[in-house]
Amino acid sequence: MKAPSSLFLKGHVLPSSIFLLRNSKGTPNVKMHPIWCLCKAIQTNSYEISNGSYHPTVQQTTEKKTMEKLSRKVESIGAFQKLPIVMPSIDIIGSALRKARKVSPTKGIANIAKREKNKGAKQLDALMKEIAVPLRTYVENFPNKMHLHPYERSLIELTLGDGYYEMVLRKVDSLRKRVVSVGKEHASLCAKSSSKREAEERLNEGLKKIEEIFAQERKVVDDLLGIAKTLRAMPVINLETPTLCLVGAPNVGKSSLVHVLSTGKPEICNYPFTTRGILMGHIILNFQKFQVTDTPGLLRRHDGIIWKS
């Protein structure tokens, strides 16, 4: 689309404008029309309006980021081996308390009351961070289930139950937010104390409150620890390698056959959603590598027949 000024320049320049240009000194009794100024004003205003209309708003920017997250490439097999190491809840709170108590006041504060206020606020802030930072690391580094490979996504659903994985991560993040909120609140109260005694009381009160909140919901951290152990023990299967699945009646020697056929000792992996484990090994036949697995449980075929293993 051509700029508004181009229209005026090519076909809409009035005679009075041409007269104004030819007679720049002006002529008496002739009415002048500042068309060029008008065109410039129209061009400037039109540019500002059109250019401003293309500036992304906050909502558009947010929607773009959301779409980028949703369109993120699905990860390949092996995401469970990249899970972060989750500390037991008792170790998190114990380590946080030890580090918080070692925090000293800022040097150079001569007033006893101010020094105690500073020390209390810093210790509460340190305790809050020592708890919140690991929890945030877990929430950020455990993969979004929708970004996993369909195979590993199915393992999560079959092993943990539909929705349990996401629920535990939400509760861990909720615990982190509560600890941060209470920690900041009591650190602020301690910093506003009017005396040394009041600062000590508010410090002890804040430490106790943070411990209580963490103790009430510490189970979710241990649940996340259990999830990490379970998923990390899942087998890594190469989907590009042909897989031989041994299916048959119980106690007929399927596992022994896997031991005999495999080139090495098969990896034994526990599947909590079955009553037994899965045995997996590899064989090489005519320079072709195969995966051999003894799969427990029931296998449903496309024709509706159920084979019991």
pTM of the model: 0.63
Residue closest to 166 by CA, chosen among 186, 146, 182: 146
Full 3-state SS string of 190-240: HHCCCCHHHHHHHHHHHHHHHHHHHHHHCHHHHHHHHHHHHHHCCCCCCCC
Class at the top of the CATH hierarchy for domain 74-232: mainly alpha
Mean pLDDT of the chain: 76
Structure confidence by residue, pLDDT tens digits, 143-194 = 998 888 888 888 888 888 889 999 999 999 999 999 999 999 999 999 999 8
In a 3-state reduction of DSSP, which class is residue 94?
helix
Structure confidence by residue, pLDDT tens digits, 50-107 = 555 555 565 666 666 555 554 445 556 778 888 999 999 999 999 999 999 999 999 9
Residues for the chain: how many in total?
A: 309
Structure confidence by residue, pLDDT tens digits, 21-53 = 455 555 555 555 555 555 555 555 555 555 555
Look up residue 73 and give its two tokens: 């490439």
Specify which residues 282 forms β-bridges with. 291
Confidence grade of residue 255 (pLDDT, cut at 50, 70, 90): confident
The domain spans of the chain are: 4-55, 74-232, 243-308
Return the top range by mean pLDDT from 54-58, 244-248, 303-307: 244-248
